[in-house]
Structure 1
Amino acid sequence: MQPPARSNRAYRNVARIVRPPLLAMTRRDWRGTENFPTEGGFIVAANHMTNIDPLTFAHYLWDNGVAPKILAKASLFKVPVLAGILRATGQIPVYRNSSSAGESLTAAIAAIAEGEVVAVFPEGTLTRDPDLWPMVGKTGIARLALSTQAPVIPVAQWGPQLLLGRYKKLLKPFPRKTVTIVAGPPVVLDDLYGRPQDTATLREATERVMTAITALLADIRDEEPPAVRYDMRRPGAQGGPATPPELP
């Protein structure tokens, strides 16, 4: 297949290595790419259930003409070999609770201005919801969206957790797993562009993104999501369930 136009040599080399095992391990039910803007930079925001879903997410984007710049936690940029791959392919480190925290937002804004697609997991970590529904998102997605006014495309994925369970280390590649990934239309945020980026506005924008992702996931799963979104800030919620359930 033709690699995305904005991919560099390092990105293409990584894809040559990563795509074949993903193709061998999965059956792909991919939908919604008609919602991707055809011009200019934009943001794609997805749910996060397991440590392998960044790869299935990137696979979906790559095979549909997008070489994403993924916002990834800074600690991954200290892992030997992986750090070199992340830097060579232009991924963006996220520094939390440090003096460098604003650098990731600045880098993401610059990437979008240059016409790149920035991929974000708004929850910031694996969901702690016991049934793997999206939890309350962090406001970084709102800051990025409102600062750039770039389209935000919500994406839901279901199936990667069958390859690698949440918090698990043992990959289960066979039998092949169906991975469903669906993109929806851009989240409506334009009525928030003129507002100050205060806490209320940032939370409103973030919740709209999470609501759109959750609606897509509910359609995939054909189930009703929880009436109240899991929130790690609630007393007793930090860290999630002591022993997360293993899905079949």
Structure 2
Amino acid sequence: MPRRSERTPTFRALAGVVVPPLSAMADIRLHHAERVPQTGAFVLAPNHMSEIDPIVVGAALWKAGRAPRFLAKESLFGVPGLGAIMRATGQVPVDRTGITRDADPMAAARALAEQERSIIIYPEGTLTRDPDLWPMRGKTGAVRMALQASVPIVPVAHWGAQRLMPRYGRGIRPFPRKRIDVLFGEPVDLDAYRGGPLDQATLLRATDEVMRAITDLLVELRGEPAPAERWDPSKRGQSETGRFDG
């Protein structure tokens, strides 16, 4: 089991507030939760379809035995009440350019790794632009974190959260109760990229492996094939603003 200090009283109190109402609205079913490391640091890399995803993924990771931490928009830390909770639970602030107010976000994330804690980073950086909600082209932040901190990166896919809150939606649709499946994958083998220079080409190749792993998990959940080509917003004139792009 993880060190007791990870599941702090603040985390337990927060889980007591968040998990019961979420469970009332959604039946969250974990698949292969045993793949979640129960000790040590790791990066959890999920797909991203809805604004409610962080709550769903955070609850799933909590149910799997670990405490969730995110790279989160710095502006959220200024919200009364919410900011205090985020600081107390060790969330990592980044602004829209990927720079924290006080330090490099990657250094802050590595500090969490040194404390043997998990961190959730969305490789897509923002909600997928794919019209059928398949994972789109990834950014390099999650892989760079994993390689620089020498920690595993665990892919995870979920399906069903978009029924609870549609993409770009602001309202929750609690009735009828939704089913959300969360499938954890085996850590992505990044050994070929460790120990060498982390130039952009290397990071992009490693990121593509992570996105392929996430997509394969989602194929398993959806029971249908993914598109032959991953959606690339830069080739379609779409904005890519989001949480953290590395």
The two structures have a TM-score, normalised by structure 1, of 0.90
- Measured after TM superposition, the shift of residue 125 of structure 1 is 1.0
Aligned residue in 1 for 2:189:
188
Structure 1 residues 59-208: aligned runs within 5 Å:
59-97=59-97, 100=100, 103-208=104-209
- Counterpart AA for 2:15: A
- Counterpart AA for 1:121: Y
- Measured after TM superposition, the shift of residue 235 of structure 1 is 4.5
Aligned residue in 1 for 2:48:
48
CA distance in 2, matches of 1:187, 1:180: 20
Distance 1:215 1:176, change over 3 A: same
- Counterpart AA for 1:92: V
CA distance in 1, matches of 2:123, 2:172: 25
Percent identical among aligned pairs is: 46
CA distance in 1, matches of 2:227, 2:238: 15
Aligned residue in 2 for 1:212:
213
- Measured after TM superposition, the shift of residue 38 of structure 1 is 3.4
Instruction: Please list the CA deviations of residues 106-131 of structure 1 after superposition, one character each: whole Å capped at 9, or x if unmatched.
Output: 11111011110111111111111111
Residues matched between the structures, number: 239
Q: Give the alignment's Cα RMSD to 1 decimal.
A: 2.0
Whether the 8 Å contact between 2:126 and 2:240 is mirrored in structure 1 is no
- Partner-residue secondary structure (3-state), 2:210: helix
- Partner-residue secondary structure (3-state), 1:135: coil
Whether the 8 Å contact between 1:3 and 1:62 is mirrored in structure 2 is no
Whether the 8 Å contact between 2:2 and 2:40 is mirrored in structure 1 is no
Instruction: Please list the CA deviations of residues 204-223 of structure 1 after superposition, one character each: whole Å capped at 9, or x if unmatched.
Output: 11111111001000110011
Aligned residue in 1 for 2:244:
none
- Counterpart AA for 2:131: P
Alignment gaps of 5+ in structure 1: 241-248
Instruction: Please list the CA deviations of residues 146-194 of structure 1 after superposition, one character each: whole Å capped at 9, or x if unmatched.
Output: 1012111100011111011111122111111000000010101011002
Whether the 8 Å contact between 1:95 and 1:103 is mirrored in structure 2 is no
- Measured after TM superposition, the shift of residue 73 of structure 1 is 2.0
Aligned residue in 1 for 2:20:
20
Is residue 57 of structure 2 the alignment partner of residue 57 of structure 1?
Answer: yes
Alignment gaps of 5+ in structure 2: 242-246
CA distance in 1, matches of 2:128, 2:136: 6
Distance 1:112 1:98, change over 3 A: closer
